[in-house]
Amino acid sequence: MDTGGNSLPSGPDGLKRKVCYFYDPEVGNYYYGQGHPMKPHRIRMTHALLAHYGLLQHMQVLKPFPARDRDLCRFHADDYVSFLRNITPETQQDQLRQLKRFNVGEDCPVFDGLYSFCQTYAGGSVGGAVKLNHGQSDIAINWAGGLHHAKKCEASGFCYVNDIVLAILELLKQHERVLYVDIDIHHGDGVEEAFYTTDRVMTVSFHKFGDYFPGTGDIRDTGYGKGKFYSLNVPLDDGIDDESYHYLFKPIMGKVMEIFKPGAVVLQCGADSLSGDRLGCFNLSIKGHAECVKFMRSFNVPLLLLGGGGYTIRNVARCWCYETGVALGVEVDDKMPQHEYYEYFGPDYTLHVAPSNMENKNSRQLLEEIRNKLLEYLSKLQHAPSVEFHERPPDTEVPEADEDQDDGDERWDPDSDMDVDEERERIPSRVKREVVEPETKDLEGQKAAAEHARGFEPATDEAANTKVSDVSPMVVDEPSIKVEQENLNKASDQIYPKS
């Protein structure tokens, strides 16, 4: 059992980290619908930048293994997962009561391949947690993840499945304490709610507060019961810039790391807190946003980096590309290399974008009051909480290579009882190709570029025996946990060519 707070073997901050990166080339094909601000295509744009900047060759590049029903049900209600699995655009009119019950419809529309999309992004986050748990990576990245608004029984804020909660539950198998940090402009309400009553997970959210979605995240909301003061909220106003942001972020997070001593950190890097975001109202530069990643990396604690919001997609791709470089310890050039989405980034074709001259409504007095209040809360936590385990869920083992397995689609052992999740059948590929709405000017050759981005072929398959437990997620504080062990045979992490 990891006692938490141990440094990585990679040592001082200046040294390289072992980084793994999860990406499925299909993810850019999912389409929320005409005019919807959430565009999974931004993940493909990010990947194209990583490839052409030469960053992929410095990481282990993995295709996520899709999360199964039982994986999702470690946090989400069975009937909600069943609904997501079965709902389609063609059948939704027959299930209006269910749509309302699960908050699916407008912000969270039903689209082709919805459940496969959820399985993909959740699979990347849980897969990253497994890599960290086994010490095979120092930093794991899943830019498709970070969907922090989803609740146990409902969708919210473009989020259907809360991959962050699922990843934290996985990390809790190995680490006594896990820290969650959220720099999306929106409050990380779904994650805070899931762990509001436990001292094993501390959540810290920096967000716009006041007449802004989701409306939660008051500085007075600090947790409940055993979780009192283990939820911290940093309410901010419009126009906050890099200097003001770090005036709060660095002392607060430094004190959190000192007192809480997490064994692992999950950092949600929502890019809607950048200047010029379509739905945002902050004024952070890409370097200012990435400074948060650099700061959390400096503690040498296993780190899971996730995506999140971000609706000016050219800037989202810029940001997550740069932050991947930060994770690797590589400084990337401002001058952008030619690639299939190059025209999105005109007229300057640079990685960095200057902040605007918008007013910063966060006065120094207000910032001092927030900082002092949060440091006061932290002073009430005398030391890192101790955790006694009488029984804990078995580790999820990292898949090992199976050279005898040639067909990457034949993932299941025919003798395994895990080849079908209850009554689930394989979902046919019904993904609607996104018609991307260019943000600068009409782009020629987009169709060819999209086809180009799909043309990845897996290089190798890895397979293994993985122990999986169906454990109710909110029993992390109970002294005895009932564990039902099952064997998953030949689950594959498919490694892509490192270009």
Binding-site residues for a divalent metal cation:
184, 186, 272
- Helix segments in 66-146, DSSP class H: 69-72, 78-86, 96-101, 114-133
Q: Are strands 139-142 and 19-22 parallel, antiparallel or unpaired?
A: parallel
Burial of 77 (0-12, 13-18, 19+ CB in 10 A): middle
Distance, CA of 332 to CA of 58 (rounded, Å): 13
DSSP assignment letter at 24: -
Distance, CA of 120 to CA of 64 (rounded, Å): 6
Given phi > 0 = left and psi -120 to 50 = alpha, else beta, which region is 329? left
Task: Decide: 301 and 118 in contact? Cβ < 8 Å.
Answer: no
Nearest CA to 126 among 81, 59, 189, 71? 71
Show binding-site residues.
Answer: 107, 157, 184, 186, 272, 311
| Marked catalytic residue, from 41, 58, 148, 149 | 149
Strand partners, 460: 495
Nearest CA to 64 among 137, 136, 119, 113? 119
Distance, CA of 268 to CA of 319 (rounded, Å): 13
Return the sign of the alpha-carbon dihedral for residues 94, 119, 312, 156: positive
Distance, CA of 268 to CA of 188 (rounded, Å): 9
Residue 149 bears catalytic tag: yes
Dihedrals phi, psi of 22, to nearest 5 degrees: -100, 130
Distance, CA of 275 to CA of 281 (rounded, Å): 7
Nearest CA to 212 among 309, 123, 354? 309
Task: Decide: 298 and 208 in contact? Cβ < 8 Å.
Answer: no
Output the CA–CA distances (angstroms, integers) from residue 385 to 5, 179, 296, 393, in the order listed. 12, 13, 21, 20
How remote is the C-alpha of 487 from its chain's centroid? 27
Nearest CA to 167 among 199, 196, 144? 144
| Tokens 């997609």, residue located | 313
Side-chain half-sphere of 264: how many Cα atoms within 13 Å?
A: 32
The crossing angle, in degrees rounded to 10, of helices 313-328 and 41-52 is 50
The residues annotated with a catalytic role in the active site are 149
